[in-house]
Structure 1
Amino acid sequence: MLEDALPLWRPFLVEVGVEEIPSQYIRDITSAYRDLIMDEFALMRLSSRDIAAYATPRRLVVMGQVSSRQSPLQETVRGPLMANAYQNGVPTPALLGFCRRLGIGPAEVQTMGEGDKTYVCAVIEKPIEAAEDLLPGIMERAFAAIPLARSMRWGDHDYRFIRPVRWCSLWLDDQALPLSITGVASQPYTYGNRTDQPGALEIRGIASYEQALAQGFVVLDPMRRQEAIVSEADELAASVGGVPAYDEGLMEEVVNLVEWPTPFLGAFDAAFLEVPQEVLMTSMKVHQRYFPVIDGEGRLMPYFIGVRNGIGRSLETVVHGNEKVLRARLSDALYFYRADRRHRLEDYVEALDRVVFHAKLGTYGDKIRRLHHIFQETRDEWPLTTLEQDLFHRTLDLYKTDLLTQVVQEFPELQGTMGGIYAEQEGLPTPIVQAIRDQYHPGYQGDIIPETTLGRLLVLLDRLDTVLLGLSQGLKPTGSEDPFGMRRSALAIGRILMESQVWEKPARHLFDQVGHILGVDEGGIQEAFELTFGRVTRFLESDRHIAAQWSTPVLQAACPWHTFSDRLSLLERLHQKPDWELVAQAYKRIDRVIGDTRATDSTPEVTLPAELAVQAAVEQVRHAPTPDAWWNAVQTLSEAVRVFFDAVLVNDPDPQVQAARKQLLALARTQYNRYFDMSQV
């Protein structure tokens, strides 16, 4: 009766305190701990709801509601064969041993059938345990199972985590439960932020936990920390007539570096604005985790927003110290920039022969010469004027030269960007400037492709060289490992082919041409194409929400990939039509009968009416000018194919007749696949 009186849902909270976790790992560790706890709840037959996970640099917290006890479970345990359980109606030792093991009497057993055999069995009620007895083990196992990019040991123990664990506690309502995380025993305490409240703060239950954090100057929810940063930073920037230049990645990093954010406004000497603002902003963001301040036109102002961890005592001293550090950083940037300005990009061209691209693929000089050769062999395939072709050769000479500049060696994030800036300052033609600037796009899944034709062609040939030669030299991605970025390069190839009209032929033709120029064998070309195809289908599914069952047949067709959207719409529309099944059946029958027979350019010699009808229908489909005309002609062809199969024997004993009929059907199959691959639908 007492158990029945317990509430169904009970709030729980687990906190694990650690040394500062590197900010880049916090999100993954927090979500993994939450998911592992939920998996353990399900495994232990505990219901849960409203599970939330939070983290600061010094703590992981998971809270929510859990059922007060396990759900009931009956388990059927199979015993010996019925024939071995009784002898002359008397229980045998086999049956008695089975009963002793389960703690039941022979009268409680039942029977069950498996195939043609009958066994004795027993239905056992699994014990129902209370949540307070299960939670400690759940939290400990889940924490031990957190996947880590890197880990460490400390003390004399063999426990591993990304940083040492310093404290922990586990609560169910106001009840403190025993817990041991990496050998650290739980206590009814938490700790505030290291700057303002480093001492222990007593907890009396879940309701008092948030009060303890507030007393310790800790904001647990990262969204609240971000809101506090944005609100105060906006006001500080507005006080000097600007706005903060927020960056999503930097914001997440700063939020995960502090427990109680206190933004502050700093300034630097306006003389540093001589340096391109991309350099100054990168120095502020990457080295100092500052948010630059820009004006309404997007121009950098001589101010920045920093974020302190703590309530802000002696903030003037903090501001002064940060300004001093930034001044040194910007002085270096100014020195590097002025040193670079004493050279032209072409001064670095010969030195690229001493910069290794990859040990197996040679230097950047080697790569550039390969791209010149590829372009020269294919120059008539691209939508470029004679002038643009000359500009592209010049672009190839210069696009990697900024790797040797001092600014890029100090700030690798500015590869391409600085090349474009220096090219513009030298007065090089705008198409060259834009292509150099855009050479690293798309750099990630949601990134844009280059805006110009030269930029798209540059990225396309650069990534084709990387993927085709890289895979042929064994630089293959495996599992989650892809140290040379083959998947990213393959996706860039696919997206440029899909999102621009720089290549007007089927994608596979481009891989074949470039692969043969580079001396890659057929297997290597196929592997590179398959990697690109796979990355594109995954991108379409995750980013555009287009399932592979629709994208695959459209991408497989021998058409330019930039027509993908129109052909996908056509497939989706036709698939709903009542005549689709007739066409699909005719195609499948052709595919099944002729197998690997491939269509040739020759017209087969046929004489029978059914054969001639198919031949005429094929020609009608071939010359259909629009997708709708093609579909009407395909329906006529499908009816002719149906009659053909009823009238003739494809596998005729005469080899010449059989070959002609198969060739006729192969030509028909080709016309079915004009806009999408019917075999993949």
Structure 2
Amino acid sequence: MGKNLLFEIGLEEVPAHIVVPSMNQLKEKTAAFLKENVLNYDQIEAYSTPRRLAVYVTNVDERQADQEEIAKGPAKKIALDAEGNWSKAAQGFVRGQGLTTDDIFFQEIKGVEYVHVKKQTVGKDAFEVLTGLKDVITSLTFPVTMHWGKYDTEYIRPIHWIVALFGDEVIPFEFLDVQTGRTSRGHRFLGHEVTFTTADDYLEKLAEVYVIADSKRREEMIVDQIQHLATKNDWSMSLDANLLEEVNNLLEYPTAFVGNYDEKYLTVPEEVLVTSMKEHQRYFDVRDANGQLLPHFISVRNGDSNHIENVIKGNEKVLVARLEDAEFFYQEDKKLTIADCVDKLKQVTFHKKIGSLYEKMQRVGAIAQIIGRTVGLTAEELADLTRASQIYKFDLVTNMVGEFPELQGIMGEKYALLQGEKATVAKAIKEHYMPVSSEGELPESNIGTVLAIADKLDSVLTFFSVGMVPSGSNDPYALRRQTYGIVRMIADKNWFFPFLSLQTEIAAEINQNENYGIQLAVEHEAISDFIKARLKQYFATKAMRHDVIEAVIEADQQDLSQIFHAATILKNHLKDPEFKVSIEALTRVIHLAEKATGENTVIDETLFENDAERALYEAAAAVEADFLENTMGDNYQALVNLRPLIEAYFDQTMVMVDDQNVRNNRLNQLKQISRMALMIASLDHLVTK
């Protein structure tokens, strides 16, 4: 039987969003430490609060098992000299293993004999090995760190105590000036220090001092308490998962309570009220059975229910002050005109190297029209797109967005509707920010999607043009996320999107008018590579095989939507019985076609010398005739169907003959097929073994 291990790092309050990742990291690195040190265990549980990260491991071996390891040395011919004596190489090898030449035996590897020895390693006592948990502390990484006191070591927050128990014994080690022990700390205001007799006391003893260390249990308590209040008052609650996790990681002992505010504030758009409650105060909004916002909120206190009335009054006072500001800003903003706001954007800098937000809007308007025509928007949609692009950033200079930046776009839609703009235009203003995160919600409307693509594409093109290209992890303007958003939107809409030709057309339009504020670079390669990297990121989320991703991205294909189709087609056909032989036949065609030289690609039928040449030519010509009109799937199948003819062709035809005219004719014939295949994918990247 083994013993149970408790390891707790006590800290000053860690930011809520870092608590769970840090807890998981401690669990993973403790498990890795035990595995590396050959200490078996049954189960490992992780616990956390803002002031502690902990793991509890059951039935850990009390001693490492003895191990036998076979070490390989030099080859026999090096280990023995001409007289059959041990060489210095052999003697040095065994000495390094703590053994003698008497321990050597030979073992053959790939026809060559090598020196080997059996090395016995006696297992250490687990108590001794576990002092290495100090290294686990230092191995944790954090997005932000600080140092304190006289120490150079940086950590997420200062460490105040460390509990390290193996059964009922303290594992002795020191980190900075903190010595391990069996004493932890309870709730900052309700608790006191608590001492564990054994590792098994952890959760129970902490609960006695108002600390619920199990974050899952703490979350269950919060949900149960909120649902109880909702049921009691006949309210409908939809708990935001991110807010719930944040609240859970801000406290150690939860007590939910209800606060109220005046109904008059319900005249303010509910997005403003919810943002004031959620983003600024960490409150849950309350609704009736029909989903209508009610003048109440639920919050969770870090403590018990004593003097909860004072807590409620304090929270209500803070919220009302925010709502007063919000109501004032809303009334003031209603006095503004969209035209005045747009004019103010001339004085707002987008980036000092690029120009103003007003100039960006002018560029985006032009880019949006180019994209809109390309993807097939109707005349009415293009007209609405024109209006949306003329005003879509206007809310950035309103009072409300100045106070609540997270409401940009949302207030733009509200204010646009108040001033009589079409609903389609107003919706596009809101949607142009989407997706706001890598996997965030995509815009619904065509107008909003084109505006979102145009706005993000302008950012990418302009930043690249002034040499501000993301490198390594450095991407201050989120160009990777914005480009990934473009890729996702095009995939979602399945739009024709020939990126390179669009980029050329956009640069030509922008560069001819100085009112756009910048000259765009016309060199495509860097931006093309940037787009390809985001395509790889997108396909990776779709569980695409690496070779399929490489094949479709390296295709001779401009249209991004066709690249998406090609990836899906290849993925769906990977397990076809004929897939391997068909791809191998087409790959052979592609490789030989690369030898074709010169501009003349005409195929001269009079130079054919066998029936296989003519049969392949006629079949390939039939495929080519419908290639541009057919779907990607039909074209793939048509090329696969050429496989028997390709095999017959190679059986009967020597391509690289001495006669230059015949050779070039045959290469041109293969190039005809290769050209079509490469429009689907660079098939030679596919792994068919």
Question: Is the structural similarity TM-score above 0.5?
Answer: yes
Partner SS state of residue 48, structure 2: strand
- 1:17-416 matches, cutoff 5 A: 17-65=10-58, 66-75=60-69, 76=71, 78=73, 107-110=102-105, 122-137=117-132, 139-197=133-191, 199-377=192-370, 380-416=373-409
Residue 571 of structure 1 aligns to which amino acid in structure 2? L
Query: Is contact 2:350-2:357 (8 Å) kept?
Result: yes
Query: Is contact 1:441-1:447 (8 Å) kept?
Result: yes
Q: How far off its partner does 1:267 sit?
A: 0.3
Partner SS state of residue 258, structure 2: strand
Q: Cα gap change, 1:100/1:589 in structure 2, threshold over 3 Å: closer, same or farther? A: closer
Query: Is contact 2:78-2:87 (8 Å) kept?
Result: no
Identify which of 496, 505, 513 aligns with 1:504: 496
Q: Cα gap change, 1:58/1:630 in structure 2, threshold over 3 Å: closer, same or farther? A: closer
Q: How far off its partner does 1:408 sit?
A: 0.7
Residues 183-240 of structure 1: CA deviation (Å, up to 9, x unaligned): 201222121111211x211210022222211111111111111111111112223444
Residues 156-179 of structure 1: CA deviation (Å, up to 9, x unaligned): 233321211111111112222213
Query: Is contact 1:153-1:164 (8 Å) kept?
Result: yes
What does residue 587 of structure 2 align with?
Answer: 588
Q: Cα gap change, 1:658/1:472 in structure 2, threshold over 3 Å: closer, same or farther? A: farther
Query: Is contact 1:190-1:212 (8 Å) kept?
Result: no
What does residue 661 of structure 1 align with?
Answer: 666
Partner SS state of residue 533, structure 2: helix
What does residue 4 of structure 1 align with?
Answer: none
Query: Is contact 1:82-1:120 (8 Å) kept?
Result: no
* C-alpha separation in 2, matches of 1:54 and 1:292: 29
Query: Is contact 1:339-1:406 (8 Å) kept?
Result: yes
Identity within the alignment, %: 29
Q: Cα gap change, 1:679/1:130 in structure 2, threshold over 3 Å: closer, same or farther? A: same
| Runs of 5+ consecutive residues of structure 2 not aligned to the other structure | 511-518
Residues 490-512 of structure 1: CA deviation (Å, up to 9, x unaligned): 111111111104x3244554445
What does residue 435 of structure 2 align with?
Answer: 442
Partner SS state of residue 53, structure 1: strand
Q: Cα gap change, 1:235/1:564 in structure 2, threshold over 3 Å: closer, same or farther? A: farther
Aligned residues: 669
Identify which of 534, 545, 548 aligns with 1:547: 545
* C-alpha separation in 1, matches of 2:647 and 2:72: 58
Query: Is contact 1:23-1:257 (8 Å) kept?
Result: yes
Residue 308 of structure 2 aligns to which amino acid in structure 1? L
Query: Is contact 2:63-2:125 (8 Å) kept?
Result: yes
Q: How far off its partner does 1:111 sit?
A: 5.7
Q: Cα gap change, 1:477/1:248 in structure 2, threshold over 3 Å: closer, same or farther? A: farther
Q: How far off its partner does 1:639 sit?
A: 3.5
* C-alpha separation in 2, matches of 1:571 and 1:116: 42
* C-alpha separation in 1, matches of 2:97 and 2:623: 74
What does residue 3 of structure 1 align with?
Answer: none
* C-alpha separation in 2, matches of 1:490 and 1:155: 44
Partner SS state of residue 64, structure 1: strand
* C-alpha separation in 1, matches of 2:681 and 2:28: 41
* C-alpha separation in 1, matches of 2:319 and 2:444: 34
Q: Cα gap change, 1:473/1:650 in structure 2, threshold over 3 Å: closer, same or farther? A: farther
What does residue 516 of structure 2 align with?
Answer: none
Q: Cα gap change, 1:455/1:362 in structure 2, threshold over 3 Å: closer, same or farther? A: same
What does residue 607 of structure 2 align with?
Answer: 608
Residues 43-64 of structure 1: CA deviation (Å, up to 9, x unaligned): 2222344222221011110112
* C-alpha separation in 2, matches of 1:265 and 1:415: 29
* C-alpha separation in 1, matches of 2:417 and 2:446: 18
* C-alpha separation in 2, matches of 1:364 and 1:508: 26
* C-alpha separation in 2, matches of 1:80 and 1:166: 55
* C-alpha separation in 1, matches of 2:683 and 2:79: 59
Partner SS state of residue 482, structure 1: coil
Partner SS state of residue 349, structure 1: helix
Q: How far off its partner does 1:596 sit?
A: 7.1
* C-alpha separation in 2, matches of 1:633 and 1:244: 56
Residues 404-425 of structure 1: CA deviation (Å, up to 9, x unaligned): 1111111111111110111111
When the two structures are superposed, what TM-score results if normalisation uses the length of structure 1?
0.89
What does residue 670 of structure 1 align with?
Answer: 675
Partner SS state of residue 605, structure 2: coil
* C-alpha separation in 1, matches of 2:377 and 2:110: 73
Partner SS state of residue 124, structure 1: strand
Residues 374-423 of structure 1: CA deviation (Å, up to 9, x unaligned): 24555532322223222211111111111111111111111111101111
Identify which of 634, 640, 659 aligns with 2:639: 634
Query: Is contact 1:275-1:334 (8 Å) kept?
Result: yes
Q: Cα gap change, 1:667/1:110 in structure 2, threshold over 3 Å: closer, same or farther? A: closer
**Greater CA drift, 488-497 or 87-96:** 87-96
Q: Cα gap change, 1:104/1:649 in structure 2, threshold over 3 Å: closer, same or farther? A: closer
Matched, 1:617 2:613: no
Q: How far off its partner does 1:141 sit?
A: 0.2
Q: How far off its partner does 1:81 sit?
A: 8.8
* C-alpha separation in 2, matches of 1:148 and 1:481: 17
* C-alpha separation in 2, matches of 1:85 and 1:658: 59
**Greater CA drift, 168-177 or 87-96:** 87-96
Q: Cα gap change, 1:307/1:479 in structure 2, threshold over 3 Å: closer, same or farther? A: same
* C-alpha separation in 1, matches of 2:167 and 2:507: 66
- 1:395-544 matches, cutoff 5 A: 395-501=388-494, 503-514=495-506, 517=509, 520-521=520-521, 523=523, 525-542=524-541, 544=542
* C-alpha separation in 2, matches of 1:216 and 1:530: 57
Partner SS state of residue 304, structure 1: strand
Query: Is contact 1:600-1:663 (8 Å) kept?
Result: no
Residue 123 of structure 1 aligns to which amino acid in structure 2? K
What does residue 515 of structure 2 align with?
Answer: none
Query: Is contact 2:259-2:298 (8 Å) kept?
Result: yes
Q: How far off its partner does 1:77 sit?
A: 7.5
Partner SS state of residue 181, structure 2: coil
- 1:644-659 matches, cutoff 5 A: 644-651=649-656, 657-659=662-664
* RMSD (CA atoms): 3.3
Query: Is contact 1:169-1:188 (8 Å) kept?
Result: yes
* C-alpha separation in 2, matches of 1:596 and 1:80: 46
* C-alpha separation in 2, matches of 1:676 and 1:419: 43
**Greater CA drift, 354-363 or 185-194:** 354-363
| Runs of 5+ consecutive residues of structure 1 not aligned to the other structure | 1-6
Query: Is contact 1:54-1:220 (8 Å) kept?
Result: yes
Residues 268-324 of structure 1: CA deviation (Å, up to 9, x unaligned): 111111211101111111111111112223222110111110112100000001101
* C-alpha separation in 2, matches of 1:251 and 1:648: 70
Q: How far off its partner does 1:370 sit?
A: 1.4
**Greater CA drift, 165-174 or 33-42:** 33-42
